[in-house]
């Protein structure tokens, strides 16, 4: 186990050739500082928040079976064989790190959050996180404690709601100059 020394490490997952380190949200900054300084992950490639509201339930994106997970497909058909694995909390935030070594190493640090839970900003560790965290706040509504300038970045300053959340409707916003405002 290469990453046993990471502070707050909850679980390590290997899938599709990628390593995911699930880290306790309260110790995120500690874990990131360790990964940068001890493991050489100097480069933050991306910060990816995801909303798992309604994961595996009926009527959400892409689900075809029933909520009990009915097997719509005999082998070879197009349905989904089983319900997806349940997620621990509503939101995940992934930090995709890269070590500029030969061969390059990549790792995904993942933290889990409920709605309204804050996490600490990693801007002091990787300055590039500035805009990524603003985008995560703007589009997903995840608040970063200690971010120097946590304001909306892509949407208007007076926009209401966070568009990438699963409970944010598509096509719900009025179209300007359409006469339907």
Least separation in angstroms between CB 59 and other proteins:
12
Which residue, 61 or 175, has its beta carbon nearer to other proteins?
Answer: 61
Rounded distance, CA 135 to CA 124, Å?
17
Which residue, 26 or 121, has its beta carbon nearer to other proteins?
Answer: 121
Least separation in angstroms between CB 45 and other proteins:
6
Least separation in angstroms between CB 34 and other proteins:
17
Do residues 9 and 97 lie in contact, with contact meaning Cβ atoms separated by under 8 Å? Answer: no
**Residues composing the chain:** 181
Note the residues at the interface with other proteins (CB under 8 A).
15-18, 20, 42-46, 48, 50-52, 55-56, 61-64, 76, 78-82, 84-85, 94, 96, 98, 100, 102-104, 106, 108, 123, 126-128, 130-131, 139, 148-149, 152-156, 163-164, 168, 170
Kindly write down the DSSP assignment for every residue of 62-107, as one continuous string.
T--S-TT-----STTSSS-SSPPPPPSSSEEEEEEEEE-SSS-EEE
Q: Compute the half-sphere exposure of residue 170: CA atoms within 13 Å on the CB side of its CA.
A: 3
Which residue, 4 or 102, has its beta carbon nearer to other proteins?
Answer: 102
Do residues 65 and 83 lie in contact, with contact meaning Cβ atoms separated by under 8 Å? Answer: yes
Which residue, 10 or 26, has its beta carbon nearer to other proteins?
Answer: 10
């Amino acid at each position: 186990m290469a990453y046993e020394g990471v502070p707050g490490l909850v679980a390590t997952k290997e899938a599709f050739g990628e390593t995911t380190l699930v880290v306790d949200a309260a110790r995120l900054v500690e874990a990131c500082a360790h990964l940068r300084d001890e493991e050489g992950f100097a480069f933050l490639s991306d910060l990816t928040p995801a909303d798992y509201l309604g994961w595996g339930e009926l009527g959400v994106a892409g689900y075809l079976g029933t909520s009990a997970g009915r097997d719509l497909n005999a082998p070879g058909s197009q349905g989904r064989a089983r319900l997806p694995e349940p997620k621990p909390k509503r939101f995940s935030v992934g930090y995709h790190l890269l070590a500029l070594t030969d061969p390059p190493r990549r790792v995904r640090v993942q933290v889990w959050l409920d709605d309204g839970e804050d996490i600490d900003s990693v801007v002091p560790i990787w300055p590039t996180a500035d805009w990524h965290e603003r985008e995560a706040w703007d589009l997903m509504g995840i608040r970063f404690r200690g971010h120097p300038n946590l304001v909306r970045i892509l949407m208007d300053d007076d926009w209401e709601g966070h568009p990438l959340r699963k409970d944010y409707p598509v096509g719900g916003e009025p179209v300007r100059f359409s006469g339907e405002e």
